[in-house]
Structure formats: C-alpha cells, structure tokens
C-alpha cells in the first residue's frame, strides 16, 4: 500500500509541476501584453484564451493519470482509463468504472489532486479578471488631504 501511495504522490507532484509550468507561462504571456484599455472583444478573447489554456493543462494532467492506469492494467484500455481519470480528477465520480481494490488509493489521490489543480486554475483566472478590471486609484493632489 505504501508503494502505491508513493506512486500516487509522484503522479500528484508531476501534475503540480505541469500546472506550475503552465501557469507560469501564462503569467509570462500576460506580462508581455500590457493591460491598458481593452475592448470587449479583446477582454473576451483574453478570458477564452486563459480558460482554454487552463483546460488544456487539466487534460494533460488527466492524461498522465490515464496513461499510468492503462500501463499498469488498472483499467482495461486507454479509452476507459481516460474516461475514468477525467471523472475522478473532476470529482464527478459516476462510479460506472472503478479501480481494483489494490489501486483505489490512487483514485482518491487523483481526486484530491484535481480539486487542488482546479482551485489553482480558479484562483489564477480570478486574478486575471481582477487585473483586467482593476481600477487604479487617483493619485492624491499635492496640498490636499486624502
């Protein structure tokens, strides 16, 4: 059981690394594109781009778990493993596919990882929205009280 917990933690760490690289690259992209006045079309395109990027990161992370499940024969095939992994990572949990008893701990760790990564994506998306709609306070005029 401890060996499989270690495997689950390694997969979780790989997801965190993927997400860190993805969020960092999105931050770098945002830094190269100054805020300024944005039109509704540009704001919409920005939000859609960030959302697509976040979903792609999650799909890579889901695929990582799925490939492991298929490789270790914890699921009958890659298609089933992808479906199971997506349902588990997103904590949808239909229950129509389940891991064998020996692998169940990995499913729980994947669900916890998905919660954490989705929370991170939500926080990042919220930060981008805040940055776009931030109102810079007027600087105080000299000789007047704030």
**Is residue 36 in a domain?**
yes
The secondary element (H helix, E strand) that includes residue 120 is helix 104-133
What is the C-alpha to C-alpha distance for residues 110 and 85, in angstroms, rounded to an integer? 8
Tokens 């997969």 map to which residue? 11
Q: What is the arithmetic mean of pLDDT over 27-53?
A: 88
Instruction: Give the residue, 32 or 61, on which the prediction is more confident.
Output: 61
DSSP 8-state assignment for residue 90: T
66 inside domain: yes
**Domain count across the chain:** 1
The mean predicted confidence, pLDDT, of the chain is 91
Mean pLDDT of 81-97: 96
User: Which structural domain range is residue 81 located in?
Assistant: 2-133
Which pLDDT value is given to residue 133? 85
pLDDT given for residue 137 in this prediction: 59
Residue 133, helix vs strand vs coil: helix
Residue 146 lies in a domain: no
Token representation of residue 144:
């007047």
pLDDT value at position 36?
A: 66
Lowest mean pLDDT among 93-97, 99-103, 136-140: 136-140
**26-35, 43-52, 57-66: which has the minimum mean pLDDT?**
26-35
Residue 37's pLDDT is: 73
> What's the CATH number where 34 sits?
1.10.287
User: What pLDDT, on a 0 to 100 scale, did the predictor assign at position 38?
Assistant: 80
């Amino acid at each position: 059981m401890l060996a499989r917990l270690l495997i689950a933690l390694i997969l979780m760490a790989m997801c965190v690394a993927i997400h860190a690289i993805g969020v960092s690259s999105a931050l770098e992209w945002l830094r190269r594109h100054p805020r300024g006045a944005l039109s509704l079309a540009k704001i919409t395109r920005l939000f859609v781009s960030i959302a697509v990027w976040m979903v792609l990161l999650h799909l890579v992370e889901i695929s990582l778990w799925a490939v492991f499940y298929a490789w270790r024969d914890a699921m009958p095939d890659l298609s089933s493993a992808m479906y199971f992994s997506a349902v588990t990572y997103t904590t949808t949990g239909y229950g129509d596919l389940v891991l064998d008893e020996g692998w169940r701990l990995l499913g729980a760790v994947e669900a916890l990882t998905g919660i954490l990564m989705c929370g991170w994506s939500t926080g990042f998306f919220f930060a981008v929205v805040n940055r776009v709609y931030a109102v810079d306070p007027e600087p105080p005029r000299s000789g007047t009280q704030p």
